[in-house]
Amino acid sequence: MRAYLRTFGCRANQYDTEAARAMIEAAGGVIVDSPDDADVALFNSCSVTSAAEADLRQEIRRAAKGNSRVRSVVIGCASARDDGTIAALPGVTDVIGGADLPALAMALGIDPMLATARASVQTGARALLRIQDGCDEHCTFCATTLARGASRSRSADEIVREATALAVEHPEIVITGIHIGSYGAEIGSSLGALLERLVKEVPHARFRLTSVEASEVDPLLADLLTADPLRVSPHLHAPLQSGSDRVLKRMGRHWYTAESYSAACAALVARVPVFALGADVITGFPGETDEDHAATVSLVRSLPFTYLHVFPYSARPGTAALKMGGEVPAAVSRERAAQLRAIGEAKSRAHRAARIGGTADVVVVGDGAKREGLTEDYLTVALRDGAMPRRSRFTGRLEFGSSSEICVSQSYL
């Protein structure tokens, strides 16, 4: 079997694609770079925005047009909520909800026992490690909970074994999932306890967390995020979504307020001289007024963010937000997003400028002309030495290069 793999969406999806890759290769299959050369095209779908689903449909049609013999199999979040639209696309033979690897194995004619296969070397320079799936919260704008189901934590022993194997080749391991801050709630553990064990039992690797709610950073996790940047990246991506308490309530995000979010983030960043703080923000949520947007702008300006991800609201079928009324015109939502992105970009430039002359722990990512470095505080930097091997890691000094980019001069660890 010759298989083409295409991933849409988050790092949890990317991890699931890596698991599918390992399963296919364990069965003797070959991964190819184009659907034109494939027997099977596997599409891992995302349902966060309507644009992501539109991109999926376009790619499936393109695969069928280029190779009339290819079978398209769709997994992921959009497939879990398919109303028949995906199944009716040309070449689609199977639509499998979520990351059901045994079901995928059966669809591909692979022994389901191979669904537990995991690669010790992934395709990225940084390895991905999914620790849980699903989410127990019910944000009114989010279709992911509907697609992924309740939160389910993996066994810590299994996670440590996989991390140990990945650390042999990957200098950084990114902890991912759908709601990783809820890890362990149903098995008597916590994200902090898991990360503490990973640091103790998996030497040398640098661990980085994906999105974690600010309210879920307990004292143990805060200590780990600020104790040793060589082992745990000083980096928190804490979804904000809105700086208006009224909008947060409408979003169903009941576990924090603008004030409590601000206090938690500010306290964490104040612990160490170098810390990356990012957030997601949604503009134009139903009922968002000019005053609500102004509250978000004020909060974003006040916090030491180093980057922002800003998205205009995207209505998702089946979510509670569709029934709320108070639709915000798309042009207004886009204008608000542009304003927040400009603030985020200014904060990012300020953070980068403040790091000039400092040292950094750099992991080499990318290939060829796209080879670059990633620092512990999530800065992308150019490499003075273009021959640095991918997946290498070094300490270096940050300095300005051409076109105001940040470059790094290095010495190996």
Q: What is the pLDDT of residues 263-296, one digit of tens each?
A: 999 999 999 999 999 999 999 999 999 999 999 9
List, for residues 287-325, the tens digit of each pLDDT value: 999 999 999 999 999 999 999 999 999 999 999 999 999
DSSP class of 216: G
What H or E segment, with its residue span, contains residue 31? strand 30-32
pLDDT, mean of residues 104-115:
96
Alpha-carbon span 382 to 408, nearest angstrom: 6
Please name which of 26, 23, 33 lies closest in space to residue 2, comparing C-alpha atoms. 33
For 6-31, write each residue's pLDDT tens digit: 999 999 999 999 999 999 999 999 99
Question: Average pLDDT of 135-140?
Answer: 95
Mean of the pLDDT values across residues 136-142? 94
Q: What local confidence, expressed as pLDDT, does residue 368 receive? A: 81
CATH topology assigned to domain 127-355: pyruvate-formate lyase- activating enzyme (3.80.30)
CATH topology of domain 2-116: Rossmann fold (3.40.50)
Report pLDDT for 411: 56
pLDDT at 321: 96
What is the reported pLDDT for 412?
Answer: 43
pLDDT digits (tens, 9 = 90+) for 27-81: 999 999 999 999 999 999 999 888 999 999 999 999 999 999 999 999 999 999 9
Tell me the β-bridge partners of 71: 40
CATH architecture of 359-412: Beta Barrel (2.40)
CA distance 108 to 38: 13
What residue spans define the domains of the chain?
2-116, 127-355, 359-412
